[in-house]
Amino acid sequence: MQDTNSRLVAPNPDLIQRAQQGDRESISWLFNRFQPSIFRYLYYKTGHRETAEDLTSDVFVRMLRFLPAYQTQSASFQSWLFRIAHNLAVDYFRKSGFSTELTDDIPNSDLLPEAAVEQSLSHEELRQALSKLGGEQTDVIILRFVLGLPIAQVAQVIGKSEDAIKGLQRRSLLNLREALHKR
């Protein structure tokens, strides 16, 4: 179920149905397939390995709890799982007192925003630049460019329309470029 670019591929509906019925092998496959991406998302979101590990565990505990009620027609499994991760990250920031909001001050630039993400960055440099964005802008960059999710799935995870995600992506890239230039 993995393509040559190692992008996440939707699990077979039969596999999900078996997991919903408690099949351990199917549940294990889902965990093994999605755990690295969920961890990576939460690591970039929180900036702390231990916090990301704890939240990743919580995602899969919730997956097990709510899997019987999951319906394939409501959202893709991947989007559903990332939505759980997103909600847990929001709760984490809310409980810890960190703000995840960002103003809409967009720097004026003649350069295309995509040029900022084409730079060769270490994971730590990218994580530090993303920490300056916060909130949904960080989510869009991680989900779109680190994990390679399509706009439709990012929209499902964040709970916004595809057009709103496109605008948010543009603002995010502009702000990320600005953060990278200030480093």
pLDDT at 10 > cutoff 50 = yes
The reported pLDDT for the residue numbered 66 is 94
- Summarize the confidence of residues 47-61 as an average pLDDT: 93
CATH T-level fold of 114-181: Arc Repressor Mutant, subunit A (1.10.10)
The reported pLDDT for the residue numbered 1 is 39
pLDDT at 82 > cutoff 60 = yes
CATH T-level fold of 13-96: Rna Polymerase Sigma Factor; Chain: A (1.10.1740)
Question: Residues spanned by CATH 1.10.10.10 within the chain?
Answer: 114-181
Which segments within the chain are labelled E, that is strand?
none
Cα separation, 73 vs 76, in Å, equals: 7
Question: Residues spanned by CATH 1.10.1740.10 within the chain?
Answer: 13-96
**Phi-psi bin for 11: left (phi > 0), alpha (psi -120 to 50), beta?**
beta
- pTM over 0.75? The answer is no
The reported pLDDT for the residue numbered 61 is 95
